[in-house]
Amino acid sequence: MPIEILMPALSPTMTDGKLAKWLVQEGDKVQAGDIIAEIETDKATMELETIDEGTVAKILVSEGAEGVPVNDAICILSLEDDSLTDTQISIKELNIKDLPKETKPIPEKTLTLPPTETTSPSDPNPPGSNTKDSAVKASENRILASPLAKRIAEKAGLGLGGIMGSGPNGRILKLDVEEALKESFGNTQGNTTAKSTNVSVSEESSPPNHANQGQTAVPHTKIRKVIAERVSQSKQEVPHFYLTVECQIDNLLLLRKELNSTAGSLYKLSVNDFIVKAAGLAMKQIPSVNAIWTEQEVRLFSSVDVAVAVAAKTGLITPIVTDVDNKRLSEISNEIKDLARRANENKLKPHEFQGGGFSISNLGMYGIKEFSAIINQPQAAILAIGAAEEIPIVKEGAVSIGTLMRCTLSCDHRVIDGVLGAEFLSEFKRLLSNPLQLLV
């Protein structure tokens, strides 16, 4: 029997995804392990492998489609012993399965859509007439819509009959309903304003087209939308407070230079590698920092896993370095480089960027002296690393030149009190000032 390839759940928070790119076409033969598509999730763009051998019989979701629910069929794979009839029956059954169940009638709101083109009365086929007619016919026969789209429409009291779906076979998705609601809301506002002022809306009074004023509109990617949503949510929900400490790293720089000089091609340590190791050992000493917040409880991690912020091409991502306290500096260094490289190539596996009780963001390489980072929920803390700079230091009445680096800890006050955060930073500073302890 033919096999349905489903939209996978590539992360615990993923409810739908974007089919960013098809790497196969109908009629292509595939082997187990072949990459057939790229899926854009709420965290990254991932490659989708097939675990079966066969022929791509039917592509059900078009390239670029957004809001495809998890576990929805995206293509059909026919196996070697499948007949053409078997494949046709599978496609037919899939279409029947997509039909909506009986629901109570929903009072429809009328959508007043703005005219897009001016046509003459004599034009027998005005622009959009075919689209409108097909929408009416589709609504008379059946309406294909995802469960989430139906729930949103029902809650808003919006009928689905006048909405054109962007999904497979014209299926109405969440984004289609949201766009329809926006248009309805915008038209209602526009009509109300025109009536109250008794002034015709002219081209001059319309909102300016910013794209014609030297600006370029860049559509949001799914990852950018998720980043925007989560950082906004974190700042709104998490009671942040900040602690800053200055760490002298002259001994660390000398040790790094010495270790790299004898490493050959085995590794090349960066200052950030020492920072990750020091943070891991400090978390081991102050375990209450290695925690996440839930509404029921604070959960402490037994393993020391550190998320390291990486500016990938698709957006910010935080791959996880696991068991930091038990790994050598060389292992940490090579692992971070490998994770960063694969993050830029969209080749990270879900478990490599999920979890962790603590994050580190380093902007020191850009000359940023100090900054405060936004906590990566549900984690309780994130450490922001500034640039190292040589400045005069007064010690026991004598002035000398030393290299200082400012480190700012953002804490979730629901989990970490001021004293606890200060204890962590104190231990972290001690380890960076005495880097030989990072080698033990």
In 306-427, the DSSP E strands lie at 306-308, 310-312, 315-317, 320-321, 358-362, 381-395, 398-412
Pairing of strands 16-22, 68-69: antiparallel
Task: Please give the Cα distance from 222 to 174 (Å, whole number).
Answer: 14
Task: Return the H-helix or E-strand segment holding 243.
Answer: strand 240-248
Are 319 and 343 contacting, i.e. CB atoms less than 8 angstroms apart?
yes
Q: In which residue are the tokens 């970490």 written?
A: 416
Task: Please give the Cα distance from 404 to 28 (Å, whole number).
Answer: 59
CB count, 10 Å around CB of 62?
13
Task: Please give the Cα distance from 139 to 162 (Å, whole number).
Answer: 7
**How many residues in the chain?**
440
**Residues facing residue 37 across a β-bridge:** 22, 48
392 prior amide bond cis, ω within 30: no
Exactly one of 210, 220, 351, 413 is catalytic; name it: 413
Task: Please give the Cα distance from 267 to 191 (Å, whole number).
Answer: 67
Q: Is 210 a catalytic residue?
A: no
Amino acid in position 378: P
CB count, 10 Å around CB of 300?
14
Pairing of strands 73-78, 3-6: antiparallel
Task: Please give the Cα distance from 379 to 412 (Å, whole number).
Answer: 8
DSSP string of 298-337, one letter each residue: EEE-SS--EEE-EEETTEEE--EE-SGGGS-HHHHHHHHH
Pairing of strands 315-317, 298-300: unpaired
Q: In which residue are the tokens 């029997």 written?
A: 1
Active site residues per annotation? 413
